[in-house]
Structure 1
């Protein structure tokens, strides 16, 4: 079989779909299965399932969503890449075109990052490209990433802001992270300053919007 670039490929590209929305997952499966050189070998609804399925050894490319239960797609990407030794490429396909997500995905070892509103033929071509070892990044998102800059929040500040985004109180955040309320307030104050916002709720929303959490 030949690829679109004229290179020879042994068998179809074996794809694992990781997407928590059943309707979206089903639509992607149908669209990709229509491609003669792509075979959707498995589907799963969360990151932990994706990690386990990718480890079985018959997956070439994992098409990964970001926002999923149990384990998000960015954490799952890091585990799949670390465990696979380069045998499984990960292509992030998400509704959330956030610059911070792109940076985190690339740091985790993802080979590509595209948004879900891209045409089906572009997604199929992105899968082919990452399978050949190439990088595929949505150009508009790449520009946004350069404009936004790096994530200014520390790992602990991100943990605190994730909980703040749920509406948790300082006491609840402290109990969840085994910190004192004073320490939590310090992390919140630094996050507010770094996001140039007025309170923890605004800071959490700003961090979410930029993909920093």
Structure 2
């Protein structure tokens, strides 16, 4: 029998999930919690084999819970359920210690299968979440900022870029400064590399 803890701050979701998982003959729901702190406490008390936790719980989100339990209770595999919005990158999510990453809309049968898989020592990331992680992030730069940054390759002087694009040197500097800030870069060369590596140039 696989002992399961369910953590979700929505009562209806938590109770419904528990009821559905209890229909599986090899799963036993041993605890239900509504926030991160109580989840950690309940896990250390009941010592479940698998904890199914919501990614966006109050005080400690699902990934913080996974990070804590991976140290305090390494025998407990954590499956994180993500809600609407952009899911976390699988690599970053699994680096916290989570063994599974699924959307909240997953069927109870599919969740039960993932619970069995992580209990057996495996990992599972929903294919749609994994596919989204392969897409390049959206570009924060305007077309004009990209055009100016593209011209800045090889440390081309600002005056040369301004001449090529028919802009003033001050305008070119403004565009380059905006690109550096938006990309969190240290200088325009770093900004160019970041934009290039993300496929925006």
TM-score by length of 1: 0.62
**Contact 2:31–2:46 under 8 Å retained in 1:** no
Q: What is the rounded CA distance, in whole Å, between the counterparts of 2:131 and 2:45 in structure 1?
A: 36
In structure 1, the residue corresponding to 2:20 is in which secondary structure?
A: helix
Count of aligned pairs: 144
Cα RMSD of the aligned pairs, angstroms, is: 2.2
1:127 shift after superposition: 0.4
1:58 equivalent in structure 2: 47
Question: Counterpart of 1:82?
Answer: 71
Counterpart of 1:122 (choices 93, 110, 113) is: 110
Match of 1:28 in 2: 17
Residues 125 and 191 of structure 1: CA distance in aligned 2, closer, same or farther (over 3 Å): farther
Given that 1:13 and 1:60 are in contact with CA atoms closer than 8 Å, whether structure 2 keeps it comes out as yes
Q: Work out the CA distance in 2 between the residues paired with 1:79 and 1:190.
A: 37
Once the two structures are superposed, residues 168-191 of structure 1 have per-residue CA deviations (whole angstroms, 9 ceiling, x without a partner) of xxxxxxxxxxxxxxxxxxxxx899
The answer for unaligned runs of 5 or more in structure 2 is: 138-177, 185-201
Report the CA distance shift for 1:190/1:108 in structure 2 as closer, same or farther (over 3 A).
farther
SS at structure 2 position matched to 1:91: strand
- Structure 1 residue 18 corresponds to structure 2 residue 7: yes
- Aligned residue number for residue 160 of structure 1: none
Q: 2:60 aligns with which of 71, 75, 84?
A: 71
Once the two structures are overlaid, the 10-residue window that deviates more, 89-98 or 130-139, is 89-98
- Give per-residue Cα distances to partners, 1:141-162, cap 9 Å, x unaligned: 111112246xxxxxxxxxxxxx
Find the counterpart in structure 2 of residue 199 from structure 1. none
Out of 33, 39, 59, the position equivalent to 1:44 is 33
1:68-114 C-alpha deviation (Å, 9 max, x unpaired): 11211111110011111x30000012224634253332110111101
Over alpha carbons, which structure has the higher Rg? 2
